[in-house]
């Protein structure tokens, strides 16, 4: 997937966008909560469960994630708002669209992120 457009919606090539975070290059950790949220969306699209777990804060991280159900198609991501409350806390509101079994779905969430030791982590979110 190195030459295709990144699933997160930036119009950048995957390798120059979320792909560099997915590759595990520690010096290229997501610099902002929004960048982490976009990389997590792309990880959901690509079913990269190890990355999702690694970027989930230990206080709320599940033990494991189920694989994407057969036939799930991710349709797009729209970031509605991104705000940093202080050096270690941020929120990102987004809408992620998908289709499964002929039915369209929208996930509208305001996610909370925390920064620890220079790394952003997803904590949890409120679904609208």
Q: What is the mean pLDDT of residues 41-52?
A: 96
Question: Residue 111: left (phi > 0), alpha (psi -120 to 50), or beta?
Answer: beta
Judged against a pLDDT cut of 60, whether residue 44 lies above it is answered with yes
Q: What is the mean pLDDT of residues 96-103?
A: 95
pLDDT score at 6: 97
Higher per-residue confidence, 25 vs 77: 77
pLDDT score at 27: 60
Confidence of residue 85 (pLDDT cuts 50, 70, 90): very high
How many Å apart are CA 121 and CA 88, to the nearest integer?
A: 10
Q: What is the mean pLDDT of residues 57-77?
A: 96
Judged against a pLDDT cut of 50, whether residue 2 lies above it is answered with no
Please give the mean pLDDT across all residues of the chain.
94
Q: What are phi and psi of 37, to 5 degrees?
A: -60, -45
Long-range contacts of 9-14 (CB under 8 A, 24+ apart): 9/38, 9/76, 9/77, 9/78, 9/79, 10/38, 14/42
CB crowding 51-84: b at 16 or more within 10 Å, else e: bbeebbeeeebeeebeebeeeeebeebebeebee
pLDDT score at 98: 97
Residue 38, token pair as written in the block: 């976009």
Domains and CATH numbers, the chain: 14-127 (3.10.450.50)
Whether the pTM exceeds 0.85: the reply is: yes
């Amino acid at each position: 997937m190195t030459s295709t457009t990144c699933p997160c919606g930036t119009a950048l090539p995957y390798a120059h966008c979320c792909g560099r975070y997915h590759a595990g290059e520690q010096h290229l950790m997501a610099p902002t909560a929004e960048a982490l949220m976009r990389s997590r969306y792309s990880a959901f699209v690509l079913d990269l469960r190890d990355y999702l777990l690694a970027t989930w804060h230990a206080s709320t991280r599940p033990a494991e994630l189920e694989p994407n159900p057969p036939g799930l198609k991710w349709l797009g991501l729209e970031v509605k708002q991104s705000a940093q409350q202080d050096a270690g806390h941020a929120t990102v509101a987004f809408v992620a669209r998908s289709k499964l079994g002929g039915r369209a779905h929208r996930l509208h969430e305001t996610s909370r992120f925390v920064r620890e030791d220079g790394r952003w982590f997803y904590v949890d979110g409120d679904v609208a």
